[in-house]
Amino acid sequence: MSEQSPFDLPEGDPFGPHTLPYGVFSTAAEPAVRRLGVRHGRYVLDLSALPEPLRPAHAEVLAAPTLNPLLAAGRPVWTEVRAAVRAALTDPAHRPAVTPLLHPLDDVTLHLPFDVADYVDFYASEHHATNVGKIFRPNDAALPPNWKHLPIGYHGRAGTVVVSGTPVVRPNGQRKAPTDAAPTFGPSRRLDIEAEVGFVVGTPSTLHEPVALESFRDHVFGVCLVNDWSARDIQAWEYVPLGPFLGKSFATSVSAWITPLDAFDDARTAPPARDFPLLPYLDDTAAEPGGIDLRIEVQINGETVSRPPFASMYWTAAQQLTHMTVNGASLRTGDLYASGTVSGPGRDQLGCLLELTEGKGPFLQDGDEVTLTAWAPGPGGARIGLGEVTGRVLPAPAAP
Ligand SMILES: O=C(O)/C=C/C(=O)CC(=O)CC(=O)O
Ligand SMILES: [Ca+2]
Ligand SMILES: [Mg+2]
C-alpha cells in the first residue's frame, strides 16, 4: 500500500468528493458481516459506524446489509447522508475519527449493493437499434415504426443480476441459424456483451399513479454500469414474437458502486433532436436536460475495443421511467432499469460485439474477461467515475 494518506487523492482521481458512490462490503476479519460503504479513491468508508457528530439523522438506514433502506428513505435523506459523508472525508477536523473507518479497497469484498426488485431493459440507442435491426431483420426497415414514439423495453430477470467480478457461465440453449434444417441444443456460440447504464429506483410509486417526467429525481437514486450478457444465437431463434428471454436471462452484471444522481449535475446534456413530436407525457422539450455526458470504455482482456458515448442516447432515463409507469404500473424500491446498449455513430463507439463485428463475430471465448468503465465531467474539471463492471466467461456446463 502506498504511503499516501487516504484523504489525499491523486490528481484527477475519479472517485473524489464529487463522486462518493455507495456499495456493500465485507472485511476479511468479519466475512459474514455486510456493511454499507462509500468509495473514496482506493478506500471504502464504513458507513455503519459513523461517530457523532458525523452521524446524519436517519443513520439507522446505514446500518443495513443492503442499500435498500437508504434507497427507500427518499431524496431528503439521500441529500443529508451525502453531505455528511462529504464532510467526513473533506473536513480535516474529522480525520482522527474517520481514519479507522477507512478500509483499503484491496482488503474488502464487494457484494451486490441492493436487492434487485424488478429489472427492465430498454433499447434507447438509435445507432444500436438501427445496426441490430439490419443484422437481425435484413428484409425490414432497420427501426420498427414505434421506435421514435416510445422507449421500447422488456422485463428481464431480476434474480440473475450479479455484482461485478462474478464469473459468467456460457449458457446452453436452443439455436437455429436460418440455414440449419432443425434447432440444435448446446453452448452458445455467439456469446456477446452489451454496454449499458443502469438506473436504480429508490422511492416507490403508487399503483395506478403514473410518475411524471419532472418526478424523475424524486424516485431515482443513482446510476451504475451494466453488462447485459447476450447469447445472440439463442436470442435470434427464440425472440419472435415476444422478445428477449433465455438469450439474456442467464446473467446481467452490475457495478459494485451506485453513484448518486447528484454527482452528474455538471454532466447533464440535451438529448439528440427528436424526429417526431412526442406525446405529452414523454415531451421533455421544456424539461431540464435529460441526457448525461457519460463516456464508457469497453475492454476485452485488457484491450480497449470501444468507447460508447451515453450522451448520444435518443431516449432519456426520465422518459423511460415515465413510460414504465404510464399504464399505472408502480415502482418498487430496488427496481433496476437499464438504458439499452449504448452505441454511438462511430465504428469505435459500438456497445456490443454483434455490431463491432457486423454480425460475423468473433464473439466471446471461454476465459475472456470483459470490463466496462465510465466517467462523466464533474465540477471544476473533476471526473466522476462509475465503478467498473467486470466478468470472465466460464465454459458451459455439460448439456442435460
Ligand atoms: O433488435 C432486437 O431484436 C434485439 C436487440 C437487443 O438485443 C437489444 C437489447 O437487449 C436492448 C438493448 O440493449 O438495447
Ligand atoms: Ca440489453
Ligand atoms: Mg442480461
Q: What string of H, E and C letters represents the secondary structure of 242-299? A: CCCCCCCCCCEEECCCEEEHHHHHHHEECCCCCCCCCCHHHCCCCCCCCEECCEEEEE
Could you tell me the distance, in angstroms and rounded to a whole number, from the CA of residue 164 to the centre of ligand 3? 13
**268-296 residue pLDDT tens:** 999 999 999 999 999 999 999 999 999 99
**299-330 residue pLDDT tens:** 999 999 999 999 999 999 999 999 999 999 99
Mutate to test the pocket of ligand 1, among 131, 194, 196 (most ligand atoms within 8 A of CB): 194
Q: Hunting for cell 436504480 — which residue is that?
A: 200
Q: Which domains are seen in the chain, by residue range?
A: 22-111 (2.30.30.230), 119-394 (3.90.850.10)
As averages over each run of 10 residues, the pLDDT of the chain (400 residues) reads 75 96 97 98 95 88 97 97 95 94 97 98 98 95 97 98 98 95 97 98 98 98 98 97 97 98 98 96 94 98 98 98 98 98 98 98 98 97 97 93
Nearest ligand to the CA atom of 236: 1
Nearest ligand to the CA atom of 126: 1
Overall residue count recorded for the chain in this entry: 400
Mutate to test the pocket of ligand 1, among 128, 193, 232, 354 (most ligand atoms within 8 A of CB): 128
Measured between alpha carbons, how far apart are the two ends of the chain, in Å?
47
Closest C-alpha residue for ligand 1 atom 4: 132
Number of the ligand 1 atom closest to the C-alpha atom of 125: 14
In the residue annotation, 128 being an active-site residue is answered as yes
pTM of the model: 0.97
pLDDT of residue 3: 53
Closest C-alpha residue for ligand 1 atom 8: 123
Which position among 18, 127, 128, 323 bears the catalytic label?
128
Q: And the C-alpha cell for 336?
A: 433496476
Nearest ligand to the CA atom of 132: 1
- Residues with Cβ within 6 A of ligand 1? 121, 123, 128, 132-133, 136, 194, 196, 228, 230, 239, 244, 340-341
Phi, psi of 267 (to 5 degrees): -105, 5
Could you tell me the distance, in angstroms and rounded to a whole number, from the CA of residue 165 to the centre of ligand 2? 19
Closest C-alpha residue for ligand 1 atom 12: 340
ipTM summary value:
0.94
